[in-house]
Amino acid sequence: GAVVSQHPSRVICKSGTSVKIECRSLDFQATTMFWYRQFPKQSLMLMATSNEGSKATYEQGVEKDKFLINHASLTLSTLTVTSAHPEDSSFYICSAGGGTGYLSGTDTQYFGPGTRLTVL
């Protein structure tokens, strides 16, 4: 099956700094990538949907200026948490879908392993 990677897997930073999380589709070209966050013992919450080459669509309540999403290529999307605060500490997960080639037209989403962000 298709593989999606995230980097870093874990990051600890000081309050006020910015953190960039990368999501890569390793063996297919993903036209759409999704960013989720998950708090302990809760389900995933969709933050935004990004399509390659266009601006991300953010869910209600998610600050687009705080969570910057760039989807510059079919294999890479980045989420930057700007001026991070302790309440931003969470598990961030990306998924990729809408693949081209052998995955085109499928509804399958492939999830990254997640990035655990801790803001001190």
Partner 1 sequence: KNEVEQSPQNLTAQEGEFITINCSYSVGISALHWLQQHPGGGIVSLFMLSSGKKKHGRLIATINIQEKHSSLHITASHPRDSAVYICAVRSSGSARQLTFGSGTQLTVLP
Interface residues toward partner 1, by CB under 8 A? 1, 32, 34, 38, 42-44, 46, 49, 57, 91, 93, 95, 97-98, 106-114, 116
Strand duo 67-73 + 76-81: pairing: antiparallel
Residue placing its CB nearer to partner 1 in the complex, 83 or 108:
108
Q: What gap in Å lies between CA 63 and CA 75, rounded to an integer?
A: 24
Quote the least distance from Cβ 86 to partner 1, whole Å.
Answer: 19
Quote the least distance from Cβ 103 to partner 1, whole Å.
Answer: 12
Are 12 and 84 contacting, i.e. CB atoms less than 8 angstroms apart?
A: no
Quote the least distance from Cβ 97 to partner 1, whole Å.
Answer: 5
Q: What gap in Å lies between CA 92 and CA 45, rounded to an integer?
A: 9
